[in-house]
Amino acid sequence: MIRKPVVVTVMGITVLALVGVAALAVGPKSGYVFSDDGRTLTATKRPHFVTPAFRDPSLKTIAGNLSDYPFATFFCCLGDTVAQGGSSFPFQTWTAVPFTPTADATVTRIEAAMGIYYGTKGAFEFSIREDDAGVPGKVMKSFHVTAPIVFGTCCVLDTFNDKAGIPVTAGKQYWLAATTTSKDTNFIGAWAQTSTDMRSYPIASWCKSSGTQCGSNNGKWVVGSSADPMPAYAVFGH
């Protein structure tokens, strides 16, 4: 699968130099292939085992695209790159997906298929954010994940719980964002995509680089349409 040209616009139309695997300081890793621009990661070997995802029937689904089939809750092997940059990856890149509740609700649990490819600390940030004129805005709640799933496996999910709950309003757009901080030294991972819907949807990307990888969009969120399936997630609550 490839991104449509509009997604290239999201990632920075003025990009002149593509980032091949050979350009990554971490070097190629057996069983994985980055796209030429570094924006997607593919696991080329099927999982050695498939663990069924646990689903809590008491939770109400507010938004999401996870499959009900326990052995294919998401697609293991293609995802959107999330990286801190630094010495192991040539630029910092994040991803966010929008959701709009159909009724007023309180979010108490988030599930996502964000997996690690490489990193000395193996950690990243996952957050629910307000909308800011159509792009991810103020963080409402963030979770620092220190034991993410391994990218290319299925179907255990990263889970985030908030007992107090995060109120969301019907008809108002919010964002789920996979990001990194300076604490997440050399983190490289990917947000695995859904196995339930092949249509194109809005998606946000953030890129920061001292090189040409981000073009005119350096250091800011930009929204476009995804030609690939969306990153896999679910928002639960009451």
> Strand, helix or coil at 222?
strand
How confident is the prediction for the chain on average, in pLDDT?
Answer: 86
Tracing tokens 């052995």 back to the chain, one arrives at 71
Q: Which domain holds residue 158?
A: 5-237
In degrees and rounded to multiples of 5, residue 8 shows phi and psi of: -60, -35
∠ Cα 8 12 14 (to 5°): 105
- The larger pLDDT score, comparing residue 68 to residue 97, is at 97
Rg (CA), the chain: 17
Asked if residue 12 lies in contact with residue 207, where contact means CB atoms within 8 angstroms, the answer is yes
**Sequence letter at residue 201:** Y
Asked if residue 72 lies in contact with residue 113, where contact means CB atoms within 8 angstroms, the answer is no
Distance CA 201, CA 155 (A): 23
Average confidence (pLDDT) over 109-133 = 89
| pLDDT above 50 for 187 | yes
Distance CA 95, CA 180 (A): 10
Q: State the total domains in the chain.
A: 1
**pLDDT tens figures, 8-34:** 333 332 232 334 443 455 556 889 999
Three-class SS string for 59-105?
Answer: CEEEEECCCCCCCCCCCCCEEEEEECCCCCCCCEEEEEEEECCCCCE
Distance CA 39, CA 23 (A): 13
| pLDDT above 90 for 74 | yes
pLDDT of residue 27: 55
| pLDDT above 80 for 54 | no
Q: How confident is the model at residue 57 (pLDDT cuts 50, 70, 90)?
A: confident
Average confidence (pLDDT) over 95-105 = 98
Cα dihedral 124, 47, 26, 232 sign? negative
pLDDT of residue 13: 27
| pLDDT above 70 for 4 | no
